[in-house]
A and B are shown apart, each in its own frame.
Chain A
Amino acid sequence: MLNRTADSVARATPEPLARKVRGISDKGLAWLFISPTILLLLAINIFPLFWAIYLSFTNFRANRPNEVVKNLGLANYKRILADQDIWIAMQTTAHFVFWTILLQTLIGFTLAWLIDRKFRGHAFWTTIILVPMMLSPAVVGNFWRFLYEPQIGLFAYAVSFVTGIPATEISMLSNVSLAPWSIIIVDTWMWTPYVMLICLAGLRSIPEYIYEAAEVDRASNWRQFWSITLPMALPFIMLAVLFRGIENFKMFDMVNLLTGGGPGSTTEVASITLKRQAFESWRTGYSSAFAIILFVAVFGLANIYVKALNKVKQR
């Protein structure tokens, strides 16, 4: 029956096309099918990357297309590495990445552990917890801006209610000390559910019989947590940290919407500096060099981290 169908399909195929197709090897056919994707990737990913690398060695400015483009060698890179403002932006980024990852991991894992208890209504609470990460960052940024308003914001009123400090004196986005934390709070609120989901997948992947064996050995809950739950969920936790680390290293939208990098330059993370140099100051060559430095930094750190992750998985 199958042979008959194949024969009829072969007969129905026009002769010239059939001959042509027959002339192509399996490997050739595979290349034929993936070539559109490869061409697209080359056009929108690889070419811009190499173009940016080329521009990073020049004085090119996108707003002055008529100007002669000079080769500056490593001058842009040297200037960036000696620029104090860039280092301050990198420190701000590191501060933001460290605290968001720490808080999101701690809270996310705790939530996952609680949800994994499968108490009554846990599915409902899982859905509720996931809501923030389903929202658009633009929406989140805007409504938190209103929540933080010292005169009309609910956040200020809530803090005022608890601490007794007048709401008008709680300027989360204007205060130099509070502004970085205002962004950390919003990012944690929005992305902890994501970490929770990954951790939950890790917890659910631990076979039940290991816990049963531990019960037989009369291991305490605490002992089970440290010896079974945490080590076996660790690769998942590390994966969540990697994803959030990469995302937050290039964080732009939330910072731009909440503080615009201010007050002063207190919350000016690397991506905001990069945008300002590239699209406000129009220093295209300089900003390309900065982008390459950031790319190498993220790529390098991510590689080291992935190696560590693999080691943990192999244990």
Chain B
Amino acid sequence: MKSTLKLTLGLASTLFASTAVSNVAQAEDLTLCWAAWDPANALVELSKDFTKETGIGMKFQFVPWTNYADRFLNELNSHGKLCDLIIGDSQWIGGAAENGHYVKLNDFFDKEKISMDDFVPATVVGYSEWPKNSPNYWALPAMGDVVGWTYRKDWFSKPELQKEFKEKYGWDLGPPTTFDQLKQIAEFFQKRDIDGKTVYGASIYTERGSEGITMGAMDVLYSFGFQYENPKKPYEMEAFVNSDKSVKGLEFYKALYDCCTPPGASNSYMGEGVDAFKSGQVAMHMNFAFTWPGLQKDENVGGDKIGYFVNPKGPDGDQFAQLGGQGISVVSYSDKQEAALKYIKWFANKDVQSKWWSLGGYSCLNAVVKDPGFPASQPYAQTFLDSMAIVKDFWAEPSYAPLLQASQKRFHDYVVAGQGSAKDALDGLVKDWTEVFQDDGKM
């Protein structure tokens, strides 16, 4: 009887002790919020090393891109404690900084000797700084990303197609260097029969609900001469947003949509683009660089069948690309800010960043991307580097959401629904954006 009692007490105390330990461990767990996509899976894998090193467990909240902004901006606006760390979109930085959602990282960077000079300059401006081009840091560049293109190398190298293309357009079929060339290639492939299947020219961004068509149209407009504002007079948009060059750029985007996209591609963004390319529907595919590792590994279209090229040049030789990507921030409402900062310190480490790249994440650390072996490390590495050198980003103002909604509406109304002219769309955009800035008291 006595021994049974002892055994029971022993088991009870062991159970109590193990529960207490697990509760302590749970109290130290960090929750990281991000979009549900391939790099997030790579980050889960990478973060296991952090748990091994520090004993701090990692939990993840990943939300699909279409709901990502809604879900996490709601969380931040309601001062929620769900996320200790957040990898927020580059355009959120202004609002998150001004509304106190993110912890300012300057003192922490100074203390831990983390220098922003060690990161690719465009990513520091795009993901970390607010106000832009000022040394006020709210995030550590975490995932470099940019819009670029993939193409079907195997189709481009078919001798009969090369011959036909040369006869028709007078130049060799290959990755385009100008948007005119891109359109010619897209027209050439549109509704062509390849290996017994009808294929189409290109997949481009046309999505209406979140940010798709804006990212796609801007990716083209920049190289045609579009500017957000007068460089000498902030928020003056007349003759910059709706300049003749911008109008030509938007007309080009519509022409590309009308002539050369697959049927029904009126609401296409990252996922739909990947599907179109993977299923062998399109010869070229506009998408963020994060999709490239997955496509490279794809059995049907990856390996030797896929090639990559930088966003082509516009009519005047200008060449820019739409910035994607995000920085990692500590949420100011988190009760575990110290542990969260530990994660950022660990993440900034060179070895961690190298592993991040090898797992499929896009490191922004100079030591990784400027390594002599980097361009040859992956077939898309050089295209990524070249693209990151020419990036531009959408407004990162606190009012980025209404600014984005206005461009989504204006671009979709014109490009997809065919309502009005490009000039009307851009004039309307100037009007909408002016209203937003007037509401903000900035004009």
Contact = CB atoms under 8 A, between A and B. Distances in A.
Interface of A: 59, 62-66, 85, 148-151, 168-169, 171, 173-174, 176, 256, 259-266, 276, 279-283
Nearest to A261: B208
B57 interface: no
A62 B73 CA distance: 10
B413 A265 contact: yes
Given A261-B208, A264-B416, A171 B402 contact: no
B417 A281 contact: no
19 contacts: A63-B95, A64-B95, A65-B77, A150-B264, A151-B264, A168-B198, A168-B263, A171-B263, A174-B263, A174-B264, A174-B416, A262-B208, A263-B208, A264-B409, A265-B412, A280-B402, A280-B404, A281-B402, A282-B401
Contact of B417 (A266, A276, A282): A266
A264 B70 contact: no
A85 B409 CA distance: 10
Of B73, B77, B417, most A-chain CB atoms within 10 Å: B417
Contacts of A59: 439
> Closest 6 interchain pairs by CB?
A264-B417, A174-B266, A264-B413, A281-B402, A150-B263, A262-B208
Interface residues of B, number: 35
A150 B266 CA distance: 11
Given A149-B264, A150-B263, A173-B267, A262 B412 contact: yes
Contacts of B404: 280
B398 A64 contact: yes
A264 B198 CA distance: 27
Nearest to B76: A63
Interface string B294-305: 000000000000
A64 B99 contact: yes
B209 interface: yes
Contacts of B209: 256, 260-261
A169 B265 CA distance: 12
A169 B263 contact: yes
Contacts of A171: 263-264, 266
A155 B198 CA distance: 20
A264 B265 contact: no
Say whether chain A's binding surface is mostly helix, strand, loop, or mixed: loop
B409 A66 contact: no
Given A63-B99, A173-B267, A260-B208, A283 B402 contact: yes
A263 to B, nearest CB: 4
A181 B365 CA distance: 51
Given A66-B99, A174-B416, A265-B412, A279 B267 contact: no
Contacts of A256: 209
Interface in B254-292: 262-267, 281
Contacts, number: 94
A262 B99 contact: no
Contacts of B95: 63-64
Given A63-B73, A63-B99, A64-B98, 16 more contacts: A62-B77, A65-B79, A65-B99, A150-B263, A171-B264, A174-B263, A176-B419, A260-B207, A260-B209, A262-B208, A263-B267, A264-B417, A265-B409, A265-B413, A282-B73, A282-B77
A66 B98 CA distance: 9
B100 interface: yes
Interface in B32-91: 69-70, 73-74, 77, 79
Contacts of B263: 150-151, 168-169, 171, 174
A262 B264 contact: no
A151 B416 contact: no
A131 to B, nearest CB: 27
A279 B70 contact: yes
Contacts of B412: 262-265
Contacts of A65: 77, 79, 99
B440 to A, nearest CB: 10
Given A63-B77, A64-B99, A171-B263, A263 B402 contact: no
B267 A259 contact: yes
B401 A63 contact: yes
A260 B417 CA distance: 13
A23 B43 CA distance: 67
A261 B409 CA distance: 10
A263 B401 contact: no
B421 to A, nearest CB: 13
Contacts of A150: 263-264
A128 B98 CA distance: 57
B405 interface: yes
A258 to B, nearest CB: 10
B10 interface: no
Nearest to A66: B99
Given A265-B409, A265-B412, A280 B265 contact: no
Nearest to B92: A63
B401 A174 contact: no
Contacts of B264: 148-151, 171, 173-174
A148 B264 CA distance: 9
B418 interface: yes
Contacts of B208: 260-264
Contacts of A259: 267
A167 to B, nearest CB: 9
Contacts of B405: 276, 280-281
A150 B281 CA distance: 13
A260 B95 CA distance: 26
A264 B439 CA distance: 25
A197 B265 CA distance: 38
A158 to B, nearest CB: 16
A285 to B, nearest CB: 11
A265 to B, nearest CB: 6
Contact of A176 (B77, B100, B198, B417): B417
Contacts of A64: 95, 98-99, 398
B265 A174 contact: yes
Contacts of A148: 264
Nearest to B191: A168
A281 to B, nearest CB: 4
B74 A279 contact: yes
A63 B403 CA distance: 14
